[in-house]
DNA sequence: TCTGTGGTTCAAGAGCTTTTGAACACCTCG
DNA sequence: CGAGGTGTTCAAAAGCTCTTGAACCACAGA
């Protein structure tokens, strides 16, 4: 009935995908996992992106060897991050998903939120430490310097991380234009 | 995906440290955990750094509430990454540790090694996928484009990440000079 | 030599995160 | 209405990473 029901004999790719799709989804899964997301977030997005046509939950489940529940939760996450969209195909009651092309949005968006709350807390703690330490007696001034040095490290991180996400997004957009 | 647990205001200091040292070590632990290291790597380095004097394994263990084995393994890691040094105090048989001030070295060094092997593998997989896909028939050219686009994403990541570590290191050095 | 201290290793266990799958809630069509 | 298909939820299971602590080695001092 549907395409892609075949299997390459000896190689055992994930689910029922042809080898090259398995390689693509696996590669993107590895990258996205490196950035602190779930591997399957990357795999689902990558399959939708490389297929370049709407897929429903069953197709995702069979292609990537996921459970019903996993597909539901992962697509919800991706939709929430706005890297996939849910569409309705005419004459078909099931939801279908399509990939947004702005992939770096997912990384930079979530990275910046995480980074924001982390740095706020770290800065507050270090300020408090500085306050408490300066009240205690017999303290080398060098030690206060060191706490302050770590304090600036936090803001440096924020700045550098922002630079990184901006650069990455810019480069991805540029790549799209070139290809 | 990693969870970033919000600490309650409670702030029970770890081990036997004064509050301000507990705050400092905890803060650095959080930052370092964000970067994919163990929280205790950051805590141990931070305590050595903020004390600004050699400490032996027992002091680290008591201060940070760690086991004998944990201190041994963590100090080995930190030594290997060259962010702490092992010294011998005269008239004392036990090893003592001191913190190197080049903290960003730890982050950038390990980050670059991890990133390097990851990107090499991802690039190879995507190249292979491209090769296999171009052999199959009835394939939209758009799909080959998309694989190539992901391929450039990998090299973009490498470049951006390198930029990030360089910037962060530079800024930390600058901060040291200022303070 | 024996004893105590310091340090390392690693199997077992603890603690977290992710995945599973059964139960349930909607639909739509006959 | 009931049957069949789709989608969601969440407690339980699986899977991973980190930590523990007992066993072990090495060495110094008595």
pLDDT tens, chain A, 179 aa long: 222 223 333 334 456 899 999 999 999 999 999 888 999 999 999 999 999 999 999 999 999 999 999 999 999 999 999 999 999 998 888 999 999 987 777 678 777 888 888 999 999 999 999 999 999 888 999 999 999 989 887 877 777 777 777 766 666 665 555 44
Angle among Cα B69, B74, B80 to the nearest 5 degrees reads 130
The CA–C1' separation of B179 and C3, in angstroms, is 50
**Do the Cβ atoms of B52 and A122 come within 8 Å?**
no
Q: Which residue of A has its CA nearest to B132?
A: A20
Which residues, other chains included, contact B20 with Cβ-Cβ below 8 Å and sequence gap of 6+?
A128, A129, A130, A132, A133, A136, A147
- DSSP codes, A120-176: HHHHHHHHHHHHHHHHSSS--HHHHHHHHHHHHHHHHHHHHHHHHHHHHHHHHHHHH
Chain D positions with any atom < 7 A from a protein CB: 5-10, 17-23, 28-29
Nearest to B147 among A50, A143, A168 (CB): A50
Burial call B29-40: b when 16+ CB within 10 Å, e when fewer: bbbbbbeebebb
Neighbours of B53 (CB within 10 A): 10
For A37, the closest of B1, B21, B34 (CB atoms) is: B1
**CA–CA distance from B32 to each of A132, B27, B35, B179 (Å)?**
23, 9, 5, 22
């Amino acid at each position: 009935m549907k395409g892609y029901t075949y299997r390459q004999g000896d190689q055992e790719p994930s689910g029922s995908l042809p080898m090259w799709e398995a390689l693509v989804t696996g590669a993107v899964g590895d990258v996205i996992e490196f950035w602190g997301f779930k591997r399957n977030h990357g795999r689902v997005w990558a399959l939708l992106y490389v297929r370049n046509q709407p897929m429903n939950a069953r197709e995702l489940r069979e292609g990537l060897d996921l459970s019903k529940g996993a597909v539901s939760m992962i697509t919800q996450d991706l939709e929430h991050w706005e890297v996939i969209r849910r569409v309705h195909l005419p004459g078909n009651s099931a939801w279908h998903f399509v990939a947004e092309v702005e992939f770096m949005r997912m990384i930079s968006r979530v990275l910046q939120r995480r980074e924001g709350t982390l740095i706020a807390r770290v800065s507050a703690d270090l300020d408090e430490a500085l306050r408490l330490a300066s009240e205690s007696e017999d303290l080398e001034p060098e030690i206060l310097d060191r706490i302050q040095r770590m304090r600036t490290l936090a803001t440096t991180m924020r700045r550098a991380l922002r630079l990184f996400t901006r650069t990455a997004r810019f480069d991805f957009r540029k790549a799209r234009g070139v290809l």
